[in-house]
Protein backbone atom coordinates (compact mmCIF):
# COMPACT_ATOMS: atom_id res chain seq x y z
CA UNK A 1 0.00 0.00 0.00
CA UNK A 2 1.35 3.42 -0.93
CA UNK A 3 1.80 6.08 1.73
CA UNK A 4 -0.94 8.16 0.01
CA UNK A 5 -3.57 5.36 0.04
CA UNK A 6 -2.68 4.52 3.66
CA UNK A 7 -3.34 8.12 4.71
CA UNK A 8 -6.65 8.21 2.81
CA UNK A 9 -7.93 5.00 4.42
CA UNK A 10 -6.82 6.15 7.91
CA UNK A 11 -8.64 9.45 7.47
CA UNK A 12 -11.80 7.60 6.41
CA UNK A 13 -11.67 5.41 9.56
CA UNK A 14 -11.22 8.48 11.79
CA UNK A 15 -14.17 10.23 10.14
CA UNK A 16 -16.48 7.24 10.61
CA UNK A 17 -15.43 6.81 14.25
CA UNK A 18 -15.91 10.51 15.01
CA UNK A 19 -19.46 10.65 13.62
CA UNK A 20 -20.73 7.48 15.33
CA UNK A 21 -22.79 8.32 18.44
CA UNK A 22 -20.97 7.63 21.70
CA UNK A 23 -21.78 4.20 23.07
CA UNK A 24 -24.08 3.45 20.13
CA UNK A 25 -22.84 -0.12 19.91
CA UNK A 26 -23.55 -0.69 23.57
CA UNK A 27 -27.14 0.63 23.43
CA UNK A 28 -29.66 -2.21 23.46
CA UNK A 29 -32.76 -1.69 21.32
CA UNK A 30 -35.61 0.04 23.21
CA UNK A 31 -33.37 1.36 26.02
CA UNK A 32 -34.89 4.84 25.65
CA UNK A 33 -37.83 3.57 27.67
CA UNK A 34 -36.93 3.62 31.37
CA UNK A 35 -39.08 1.49 33.64
CA UNK A 36 -41.27 3.21 36.20
CA UNK A 37 -43.08 1.90 39.24
CA UNK A 38 -45.80 2.92 41.62
CA UNK A 39 -44.69 3.49 45.19
CA UNK A 40 -46.80 4.40 48.22
CA UNK A 41 -45.49 5.75 51.49
CA UNK A 42 -46.42 8.14 54.25
CA UNK A 43 -44.81 11.55 54.25
CA UNK A 44 -45.27 13.71 57.34
CA UNK A 45 -48.32 11.69 58.30
CA UNK A 46 -49.97 11.88 54.88
CA UNK A 47 -50.34 8.89 52.53
CA UNK A 48 -48.74 9.57 49.16
CA UNK A 49 -48.59 7.48 45.98
CA UNK A 50 -46.30 8.23 43.08
CA UNK A 51 -45.49 6.82 39.67
CA UNK A 52 -41.77 7.34 39.36
CA UNK A 53 -38.92 6.36 37.10
CA UNK A 54 -37.22 3.55 39.03
CA UNK A 55 -34.01 5.61 39.11
CA UNK A 56 -35.62 8.49 41.03
CA UNK A 57 -33.92 9.13 44.35
CA UNK A 58 -36.05 9.65 47.43
CA UNK A 59 -34.67 13.21 47.51
CA UNK A 60 -35.94 13.96 44.00
CA UNK A 61 -39.28 12.29 44.74
CA UNK A 62 -39.73 14.57 47.74
CA UNK A 63 -38.57 17.75 46.04
CA UNK A 64 -39.68 17.34 42.43
CA UNK A 65 -42.75 15.12 42.73
CA UNK A 66 -44.17 16.10 46.12
CA UNK A 67 -42.83 19.68 46.06
CA UNK A 68 -41.43 19.38 49.57
CA UNK A 69 -38.44 21.59 48.86
CA UNK A 70 -37.39 21.94 52.51
CA UNK A 71 -35.10 18.95 52.07
CA UNK A 72 -32.04 20.27 50.28
CA UNK A 73 -29.81 18.87 47.56
CA UNK A 74 -26.18 19.68 48.22
CA UNK A 75 -23.76 17.16 46.78
CA UNK A 76 -26.31 14.55 45.58
CA UNK A 77 -23.89 11.77 46.43
CA UNK A 78 -23.89 11.23 50.16
CA UNK A 79 -21.21 13.61 51.31
CA UNK A 80 -22.92 16.65 52.82
CA UNK A 81 -26.03 15.56 54.73
CA UNK A 82 -28.18 18.41 53.37
CA UNK A 83 -30.75 15.85 52.18
CA UNK A 84 -31.17 14.11 55.56
CA UNK A 85 -34.70 12.93 56.32
CA UNK A 86 -36.03 10.35 58.75
CA UNK A 87 -37.39 7.04 57.52
CA UNK A 88 -39.15 4.97 60.18
CA UNK A 89 -37.37 7.12 62.77
CA UNK A 90 -33.86 6.59 61.39
CA UNK A 91 -31.97 9.32 59.55
CA UNK A 92 -30.84 8.67 56.01
CA UNK A 93 -29.32 10.61 53.15
CA UNK A 94 -32.29 10.76 50.80
CA UNK A 95 -30.00 11.30 47.79
CA UNK A 96 -28.53 7.83 48.28
CA UNK A 97 -31.71 5.82 48.22
CA UNK A 98 -34.31 5.18 45.55
CA UNK A 99 -37.91 6.22 46.13
CA UNK A 100 -39.17 2.80 45.00
CA UNK A 101 -37.28 1.18 47.90
CA UNK A 102 -39.57 2.86 50.43
CA UNK A 103 -42.89 1.18 49.86
CA UNK A 104 -44.92 1.48 53.08
CA UNK A 105 -42.30 3.54 54.94
CA UNK A 106 -42.98 6.47 57.25
CA UNK A 107 -40.95 9.44 56.05
CA UNK A 108 -40.47 12.65 58.01
CA UNK A 109 -39.04 15.77 56.43
CA UNK A 110 -38.39 19.19 57.92
CA UNK A 111 -41.91 20.21 56.88
CA UNK A 112 -43.32 17.54 59.19
CA UNK A 113 -41.53 18.68 62.34
CA UNK A 114 -43.11 22.00 63.14
CA UNK A 115 -44.32 25.23 61.68
CA UNK A 116 -44.05 28.93 62.52
CA UNK A 117 -45.67 29.43 65.90
CA UNK A 118 -45.43 25.74 66.73
CA UNK A 119 -41.80 24.80 66.22
CA UNK A 120 -40.28 21.47 67.16
CA UNK A 121 -38.02 21.99 70.22
CA UNK A 122 -34.98 21.37 68.01
CA UNK A 123 -36.10 24.00 65.51
CA UNK A 124 -36.70 26.46 68.37
CA UNK A 125 -33.23 25.71 69.79
CA UNK A 126 -31.59 26.32 66.40
CA UNK A 127 -33.32 29.71 66.25
CA UNK A 128 -32.38 30.55 69.84
CA UNK A 129 -28.71 29.63 69.37
CA UNK A 130 -28.29 31.01 65.82
CA UNK A 131 -27.60 27.50 64.58
CA UNK A 132 -27.55 28.65 60.95
CA UNK A 133 -26.41 31.42 58.67
CA UNK A 134 -27.48 30.84 55.05
CA UNK A 135 -29.77 28.03 56.23
CA UNK A 136 -29.08 25.66 53.34
CA UNK A 137 -27.80 22.84 55.52
CA UNK A 138 -30.29 23.52 58.31
CA UNK A 139 -33.17 21.16 57.41
CA UNK A 140 -30.69 18.29 57.23
CA UNK A 141 -28.96 19.39 60.43
CA UNK A 142 -32.25 19.52 62.33
CA UNK A 143 -33.52 16.14 61.05
CA UNK A 144 -30.14 14.63 61.85
CA UNK A 145 -30.01 16.21 65.34
CA UNK A 146 -33.39 14.81 66.32
CA UNK A 147 -32.45 11.35 65.08
CA UNK A 148 -29.04 11.55 66.78
CA UNK A 149 -30.59 12.08 70.20
CA UNK A 150 -32.88 9.10 69.61
CA UNK A 151 -29.88 7.00 68.51
CA UNK A 152 -28.01 7.87 71.69
CA UNK A 153 -31.05 7.21 73.89
CA UNK A 154 -31.59 3.87 72.15
CA UNK A 155 -27.89 3.12 72.67
CA UNK A 156 -27.24 2.63 68.98
CA UNK A 157 -23.49 2.82 68.39
CA UNK A 158 -22.14 5.36 65.97
CA UNK A 159 -20.06 4.08 63.05
CA UNK A 160 -16.90 4.46 65.17
CA UNK A 161 -18.20 2.32 68.02
CA UNK A 162 -17.97 -1.38 67.38
CA UNK A 163 -18.81 -2.73 70.84
CA UNK A 164 -22.60 -3.05 71.00
CA UNK A 165 -22.52 -3.36 74.78
CA UNK A 166 -20.69 -0.07 75.28
CA UNK A 167 -22.82 2.41 77.12
CA UNK A 168 -23.06 5.51 74.98
CA UNK A 169 -22.88 8.77 76.88
CA UNK A 170 -24.67 11.87 75.71
CA UNK A 171 -21.73 14.22 75.61
CA UNK A 172 -20.98 17.15 73.32
CA UNK A 173 -18.13 15.07 71.84
CA UNK A 174 -20.49 12.18 71.09
CA UNK A 175 -22.97 14.57 69.46
CA UNK A 176 -20.22 16.21 67.42
CA UNK A 177 -19.03 12.82 66.18
CA UNK A 178 -22.50 11.67 65.24
CA UNK A 179 -23.25 14.95 63.46
CA UNK A 180 -20.04 14.78 61.44
CA UNK A 181 -21.90 13.71 58.31
CA UNK A 182 -23.77 17.02 58.19
CA UNK A 183 -21.57 19.67 56.65
CA UNK A 184 -22.16 23.38 57.20
CA UNK A 185 -20.30 25.56 54.75
CA UNK A 186 -21.10 28.62 56.88
CA UNK A 187 -19.32 27.00 59.81
CA UNK A 188 -22.16 27.34 62.32
CA UNK A 189 -20.99 24.20 64.09
CA UNK A 190 -20.56 25.57 67.61
CA UNK A 191 -24.04 27.13 67.55
CA UNK A 192 -25.55 23.94 66.13
CA UNK A 193 -23.91 22.01 68.96
CA UNK A 194 -25.25 24.49 71.55
CA UNK A 195 -28.77 23.95 70.19
CA UNK A 196 -28.51 20.15 70.34
CA UNK A 197 -26.90 20.22 73.78
CA UNK A 198 -29.79 22.29 75.08
CA UNK A 199 -32.42 19.92 73.69
CA UNK A 200 -30.47 16.93 75.01
CA UNK A 201 -30.51 18.54 78.45
CA UNK A 202 -26.76 18.19 78.93
CA UNK A 203 -25.03 20.36 81.50
CA UNK A 204 -21.73 21.66 80.08
Choosing from 73, 91, 120, 129, the residue that interacts with ligand FES (CB under 6 A) is 73
Q: Does 110 bind ligand FES (CB under 6 A)?
A: no
- Phi/psi-derived region of residue 90, left when phi > 0, alpha when psi is between -120 and 50, beta in every other case: beta
Task: Convert residues 131-170 into a mask of x (bound to ligand FES by CB under 6 A) and - (unbound).
Answer: -xxxxxxx--------------------------------
Return the closest-CA partner of residue 108 out of 159, 29, 42, 52: 42
Cα–Cα distance, 37 to 54 (Å, whole number):
6
Q: Does 172 bind ligand FES (CB under 6 A)?
A: no
Q: Give exposure, 57-78, as e/b (b: 16+ Cβ within 10 Å).
A: bbbbbbbeebebebbbbbeeee
Choosing from 87, 184, 195, 197, the residue that interacts with ligand FES (CB under 6 A) is 184
**Stretch 11-70 residues interacting with ligand FES (CB under 6 A):** none
Across the chain, the runs of DSSP E, i.e. the strands, are 36-43, 46-53, 84-87, 90-93, 106-108
Q: Which is nearer to ligand FES, 73 or 120 (CB)?
A: 73
Q: Does 182 bind ligand FES (CB under 6 A)?
A: no
Q: How many residues bind ligand FES (CB under 6 A)?
A: 23
Q: How many C-beta atoms surround the C-beta of residue 44 within 10 A?
A: 16
Q: Which spans of this chain sit near ligand FES (rule: CB under 6 A)?
A: 73-76, 78-83, 93, 95, 132-138, 184-186, 188
Amino acid sequence: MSRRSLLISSAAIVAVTATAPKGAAAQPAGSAMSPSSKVSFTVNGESRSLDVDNRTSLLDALREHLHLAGTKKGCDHGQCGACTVMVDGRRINSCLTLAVMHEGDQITTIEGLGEPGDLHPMQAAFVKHDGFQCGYCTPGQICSSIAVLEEIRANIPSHVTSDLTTEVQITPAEIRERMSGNICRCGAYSNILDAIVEVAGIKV
